[in-house]
Chains A and B, each alone.
Chain A
Amino acid sequence: MNPQRMRAIKLYKELMFLGRNYPDASYDFNGRMRRLFEKNKSLTDPEEIEKAIQLGEFIRNETLALYSLRKYRHLRRSYPPSDP
């Protein structure tokens, strides 16, 4: 199978998995991701596909960063460091 196709499918699965834990329930994360993929389904130029995949990977990394930052901030707020 085309390696780009493999990457796209893997990325899609990862994004769907990440979307399960999206903090804002009213934000349709998985739906948006699906529509983004559908919009690009007819791409044929390898360069354009590469660009689209990289955008998807960027979204994945940003979402991961969002999750960890949210948790860190919550803990930081709940347990403020004691004043010197």
Chain B
Amino acid sequence: MRPTAIRQLKVLVAVKRTIDYAVKIRVNPSQTGVDTNVKHSMNPFDEIAVEEAVKLRERGVNVESIRVITLGQTKASEILRTALAMGADHATHVELPDGADMPEPLGVAKALAAYVKREPVDIVILGKQAIDDDAGQTGQMLAGLLGWSQGTFASKLDVDEASKTAVVVREIDGGGEEIRCKLPLVLTTDLRCNVTVPRYASLPNIMKARKKPIEKLTAQDLGVDLSPRLETIKVSEPPKRVGGGKVENVDQLVEKLKAAGVV
């Protein structure tokens, strides 16, 4: 009997285009959201997820393909290029019409689940949360929709291809938790996921990534409805911090403290 061929792992990484971490967030004058005419980049946690997928291959795990997927408007393809430059093989862009609302975690999870049904994969890696809405729900919802095992807030991933299991170390309050899960697996990466930090996409790699094709899909192709189920009523900035005052001497200080009802 011929030995069965070693099955190679297929990895899918979901990424999101968010406002750059260094940009100061401002609410737009009509109070419907934040000003988006600023620098955008890949969500840092998703960067860690891409790095983890590439590291998996570099560690010698039999990774057949690393796919990246994003949902977003036309410009979201920029971050797919970055992910390709970091070492991913294929990219899929689920395009939303310009001006559409950002889909909610449930919508994203449904779209990812529909995509995974089209293109079977063994591991889906996501960032634990996006730095714009900080929902941190997509990975869990995706695992629930697919009925797969989930390793959330992962700080370490070890895959054993032969037994089709993975050992995940999770970040929990006050330490780490080691869990063994069966593949297929949904993994969400925490900040300390890689011992080394995500690589910087170098210029030659970005040039090479330009030649790789990006598959374009729409929500209709996946058969999902991405319209938001929540309504944003108002977005406002936190109250401005009121400055303190200087006192001349101890008597004034006591007076002020008494006025404030502290003493």
Contact = CB atoms under 8 A, between A and B. Distances in A.
Interface residues of A, number: 21
B139 interface: no
B44 A17 contact: no
B184 interface: no
A14 to B, nearest CB: 6
B118 to A, nearest CB: 33
Nearest to B202: A14
Interface string B153-188: 000000000000000000101110000000000000
Contacts of B200: 18, 64, 67-68
Contact of A78 (B131, B174, B197): B131
Contact of A72 (B22, B171, B197, B203): B197
B259 to A, nearest CB: 35
A2 B21 CA distance: 41
A41 interface: no
A81 B21 CA distance: 18
A17 B22 CA distance: 18
Report whether over half of chain B's contact residues are helix, strand or loop; otherwise say mixed. loop
Interface in B183-202: 191, 197-198, 200, 202
Interface string A67-83: 11111101110110111
Nearest to A72: B197
Nearest to A84: B174
A76 B191 contact: yes
Given A78-B131, A84-B174, A84-B175, A71 B203 contact: no
B203 A13 contact: yes
A17 B203 contact: yes
Given A64-B200, A82-B173, 17 more contacts: A13-B203, A14-B202, A17-B203, A23-B22, A68-B197, A70-B22, A71-B44, A74-B21, A75-B21, A75-B131, A76-B191, A78-B131, A81-B171, A82-B174, A83-B173, A84-B173, A84-B174
29 contacts: A13-B203, A14-B202, A14-B203, A17-B203, A23-B22, A67-B200, A68-B197, A68-B198, A68-B200, A69-B197, A71-B21, A71-B44, A72-B191, A72-B197, A74-B21, A74-B22, A75-B21, A75-B44, A75-B45, A75-B131, A75-B191, A79-B191, A81-B171, A82-B173, A82-B174, A83-B173, A83-B174, A84-B173, A84-B175
The 6 A-B residue pairs whose C-beta atoms are closest, nearest first, are A84-B174, A68-B197, A17-B203, A82-B173, A74-B21, A64-B200
